[in-house]
Amino acid sequence: MPDLLPFLKDLLSAPGLSGYEDPAAEIISARWKPLVRELSRGRLGSLHGFRPGSGPEPRPSIMICTHMDAIGLMVTGQTGGFLRITNVGGVDARVLPGQLVTVHGRRDLPAVVAQPPARLLPPEIGENPVPLDSLLLDTGLPPKQVAELVRVGDLVSYAQAPMELAGEVICGHTLDNRVSVAALTICLEELQIRPHVWDVWAVASSQEEVGTIGATASSYELRPSIAITVDVTFAKGPGASDWGTFPLGKGPTNTVGPNIHPALQKAIQDLAEKLEIPCTLEYTPRHTGTDGYATQVSGEGIPTAVIGIPLRYMHTPVEMVAIKDIQRTGRLLAEFIARLEPDFTGKLIWEQE
Amino acid sequence: MAAFGNPQLKLLERLCNASAVSGDEGEVRRIVLAEIEGLADEVKVDALGNVLATKKGTGRNRPRVMVSAHMDEVGFMLVAEEGEGLYRFETVGGIDVRQLPGKAVLVGKDHLQGVIGARPIHLTTADERRRTIPLDTLRIDLGPGGKAKLGERATFATRFQRNGPVLIAKALDNRFGVATLIELLRHAPENIDLLAAFTVQEEIGLRGAKVAAHAFDPDLGIAVDSTPANDLPSHDGEENNAYNTRLGLGPAIYIADGSTLSDPRLVQFLSATGDALGIPYQFRQPGGGGTDAGAIHRARAGVPSISVSVPHRYAHTAALISRVDDWKNTLALLQGGLARMSRDVIAGSR
């Protein structure tokens, strides 16, 4: 996919906070349109793309789930032309002071997250981080104009533009999880020239950051035979070096843990080894913190796997991902789908006691 | 009065987007030298890197008026390499470490892109989130394999933008002053000798202004700078009576700051100029802080001095906010003041 980067940059520059994913869904729809037979939106906002397989009906189906929603902020009030804010999704208030943001008011307004001078803050804060409820947004406009243009509930996105850094990495906000949407897009493009027996549901899910809501609805509606969630995982880097972190640019991860069907996980790992795609096992003893948590318990239960793309500085406006890892993930997905045999679900068995 | 519009704002944009951390002002200096070429009778770059431009008038008994604006900005220096594109760094100038996590930066003369990240919130504890992330755990990350030289400076990567009456940029402190001095030189009045000092190292102790004032030996000095507008609401709803300056009320005339008592005759003169010409101005609340005037007024046998600043919010952060009209009125007040300046202004009683 030679034009991956322009597409990814468009996607990273689009708003689309949890529950308000339309701007991202439009860009993804335009890209997926020639790659799928049908496009539809789930009741809670997920985007569903359907590619029929070539096998006899009734065909099994695989869902690839990549959430498209972004974390961000929401306006909760105004005071003297300044805006009060709360978070949408997991935001560490310590990355906010001095950030450029876009307030999606009656029109988009550039604004800055203001850390008020110490004399205007509760004295106990001192040199500690200023909590979210004491931070303000400033458009610089006069109060009257702010009152006309902004109201409670307006959304706020990070304004950091995507950047390409040394070592072929991309950097910016909302790489979590639009790099996975890009990987799924690579997969769909590869499937254009790779026959596949199974039906494929490509899902850009909504509201993951507020509790895997879109994936819950979509996996119930689509009832796939198996589901693979692709989401970002923690890359090693400053502040992240523990066992649960993975080298940037050294391939995706394949999760082992209670959210995952072990036979599906093993099939993916076997294939990665066969294809010589580096793929590290990621051990997640409890909740994966991904859409896989929701797909597994949908309906009567769906065998689920979770593939991770290592990302540095998660949930900051300067998230970093190696482009090669996006490409590897897309290829692994496509190869997995193309090699699915009609009776693969029969192989998803638990070891006998 | 000289025109004010897009050419001036374009100049300010170029100046703000240039990187010039204290001690490494070359990029702004080059813009200044190119802009003032042919405008002055004499231009020199001194031992510290100050640009000193002299434009002589033609009238009789002309006062020697020094105007000073610092070219440098706060920023960072790369001090240790950890491999894989990761660098330790130190701050240069007064930067609140709470402003650093999650920012894009530009490193070195080639503006190499990098970022200062933070540990994912998922890996932090609630207790940890109540503590400031210390500088020694932060890194400038150029991407795997990114290369910079130790000692190189870095700045926030923010690009200048205008939204109607609002300007958002890094380094408005003090590219406002630099752009103002360039405009003053472009339209220098004949009644004075205009001595324009584009100074270095203000943010780390007014070091450029000290030698510039000695070299110029002026009759009076005006530091042109940018000062905080702390005009935000107080957390408890009480009146904010420590705002320093307010956005939108025009140039801030200094009466007293942490290093200078302005010459009262110059305070009187500039405010009378504003009144006479109908230019809005405000008095900066007397208090701490300082400008090049702190060094200028102590030069040689003493130099009656004052400062005039364009107000900005969020000093020394990635994104300062100002108003176009505050700069326009600052320029107008200074142009009006210089055109009316005479030795009499500083001959009278205080």
Q: Is the pLDDT of residue A154 over 60?
A: yes
CATH of the domain at A278: 3.40.630.10
Residues A242-253, mean pLDDT to the nearest whole number? 97
pLDDT of amino acid A159: 98
Q: Do A216 and A135 belong to one domain?
A: no
How many whole angstroms from its chain centre is CA A159?
18
A2: confidence class by pLDDT, cuts 50, 70, 90: low
Q: Do A23 and A101 belong to one domain?
A: no
B348: confidence class by pLDDT, cuts 50, 70, 90: confident
Taking an 8 Å cut-off on Cβ atoms, the answer to whether A110 and B113 are in contact is no
Q: Do A111 and A55 belong to one domain?
A: no
pLDDT in tens, B149-200: 999 999 999 999 999 999 999 999 999 999 999 999 999 999 999 999 999 9
Structure-token pair, residue A43:
């009741």
Q: Is A352 part of any domain?
A: no
Residues A62-82, mean pLDDT to the nearest whole number? 97
Cα–Cα distance between A185 and A220 in angstroms, integer? 23
Q: Do A339 and A251 belong to one domain?
A: yes
Q: Is B202 a catalytic residue?
A: yes
Q: Is A164 part of any domain?
A: no
Nearest chain B residue to A164 by CA distance is: B113
Residues of chain B with Cβ-Cβ distance to A100 below 8 Å are 158, 168, 318-319
Cα–Cα distance between B197 and B205 in angstroms, integer? 16
What is chain B's mean pLDDT, rounded? 97
Structure-token pair, residue B116:
């200062």
Residue B104 touches partner A, C-beta closer than 8 Å: yes
> Which ranges of chain B would DSSP assign to H, the alpha helix?
6-17, 26-35, 126-129, 172-186, 207-216, 264-277, 293-296, 324-340
CB atoms within 10 A of CB B61: 8
Domain extent at residue A196: 4-70+173-347
**Domains defined for chain B, CATH in brackets:** 6-73+170-346 (3.40.630.10), 87-156 (2.40.30.40)
Q: Do A241 and A303 belong to one domain?
A: yes
CB A53 within 8 A of CB A35: no
Q: Do A190 and A81 belong to one domain?
A: no
CB atoms within 10 A of CB A22: 15
A224 CB-near residues (< 8 Å, 6+ apart): A61, A62, A63, A201, A295, A302
Whether the complex's predicted ipTM is more than 0.85 is answered with yes
Structure-token pair, residue A53:
């397989």
A3: confidence class by pLDDT, cuts 50, 70, 90: confident
pLDDT of amino acid A352: 72
Q: Do A110 and A254 belong to one domain?
A: no
Taking an 8 Å cut-off on Cβ atoms, the answer to whether B115 and A320 are in contact is yes
Write the DSSP assignment of B235-293 as a string of letters.
Answer: TTS------SS-TTS--EE-SB-SS-B--HHHHHHHHHHHHHHT---EEPPS-S---TH
Q: Do A153 and A220 belong to one domain?
A: no
What is chain A's mean pLDDT, rounded? 96
For chain A, what percentages of helix, strand and coil (3-state, to nearest 5) are there?
30, 30, 40
Last residue of a domain, one of A133, A158, A183: A158
Cα–Cα distance between B295 and B291 in angstroms, integer? 8
pLDDT in tens, B102-152: 999 999 999 999 999 999 999 999 999 999 999 999 999 999 989 999 999
Partner B, chain A 156-215, Cβ-Cβ below 8 Å: 160, 163-169, 171
Nearest chain A residue to B123 by CA distance is: A240
Cα–Cα distance between B252 and B245 in angstroms, integer? 7
pLDDT of amino acid B257: 97
Nearest chain B residue to A120 by CA distance is: B234
CB A333 within 8 A of CB A180: no
Percent of chain B with pLDDT over 90: 97
Candidates B13, B35, B183, B202; catalytic one? B202
pLDDT in tens, A302-332: 999 999 999 999 999 999 999 999 999 999 9
Q: Is A163 part of any domain?
A: no
pLDDT in tens, B195-221: 999 999 999 999 999 999 999 999 999
The number of folded domains in chain A is 2
CATH of the domain at A142: 2.40.30.40
Structure-token pair, residue B301:
């046998």
Q: Is the pLDDT of residue A353 over 70?
A: no
Q: Do A149 and A55 belong to one domain?
A: no
CB A234 within 8 A of CB A315: no
Q: Do A317 and A245 belong to one domain?
A: yes
Cα–Cα distance between B167 and B160 in angstroms, integer? 7
A162: confidence class by pLDDT, cuts 50, 70, 90: very high
Q: Is the pLDDT of residue A351 over 90?
A: no
Cα–Cα distance between A283 and A265 in angstroms, integer? 12
pLDDT of amino acid A1: 57
Q: Do A124 and A63 belong to one domain?
A: no
Q: Do A60 and A89 belong to one domain?
A: no
